Amino acid sequence: MLDVGDGHLVYWEVCGNPDGKPAVTLHGGPGTGCSTGLRRYFDPDRYRVVLFDQRGCGRSTPHAGEPEADLSANTTDHLIADMELLRERLGIEKWLIFGGSWGSVLALVYAERYPDRVSEMVLMGLATGRRRETDLLTRGLGGVFPEAWARFRDGVPEEDRDGDLAAAYHKLLMDPDPVVHEKAAADWCAWEDAVIPTSPPYKSFESPKFRLAFARLVTHYWSQGSFLDEGVVLREAKKLAHIPAVLAEGSLDLGNLVGTPWELAHAWPGSELVIIDEVGHSTQDEPMRDVLIGATDRFAS
Q: Which is catalytic among the residues 53, 82, 187, 253?
A: 253
| Distance set, CA 196 to CA 147, 212, 245 (Å) | 15, 19, 25
pLDDT per residue as tens digits for the range 220-262: 999 999 999 999 999 999 999 999 999 999 999 998 999 999 9
Domain limits of the chain? Answer: 2-128+228-299, 133-226
Confidence at residue 170, expressed as pLDDT on a 0 to 100 scale: 98
Asked about 119 being catalytic, the answer comes back as no
pLDDT per residue as tens digits for the range 38-63: 999 999 999 999 999 999 999 999 99
The answer, yes or no, to whether residue 213 has pLDDT greater than 90, is yes
Helix axes 76-89, 102-113, angle to 10 degrees: 70
Q: CA quadruple 275, 23, 130, 253: dihedral positive or negative?
A: positive
pTM assigned to the model: 0.96
Q: Position 289: which residue type?
A: R
Q: Which is catalytic among the residues 53, 220, 281, 282?
A: 281
Asked about 253 being catalytic, the answer comes back as yes
Confidence at residue 215, expressed as pLDDT on a 0 to 100 scale: 98
Half-sphere exposure of 276 (CA within 13 A, CB side): 23
Domain 2-128+228-299 has CATH 1.10.10.2520: no
Mean pLDDT, rounded, for 270-287: 90
The answer, yes or no, to whether residue 280 has pLDDT greater than 90, is no
Q: Which is catalytic among the residues 60, 101, 223, 271?
A: 101
Asked about 101 being catalytic, the answer comes back as yes
Label residue 283 by pLDDT band (50, 70, 90). confident
pLDDT per residue as tens digits for the range 78-107: 999 999 999 999 999 999 999 999 999 999
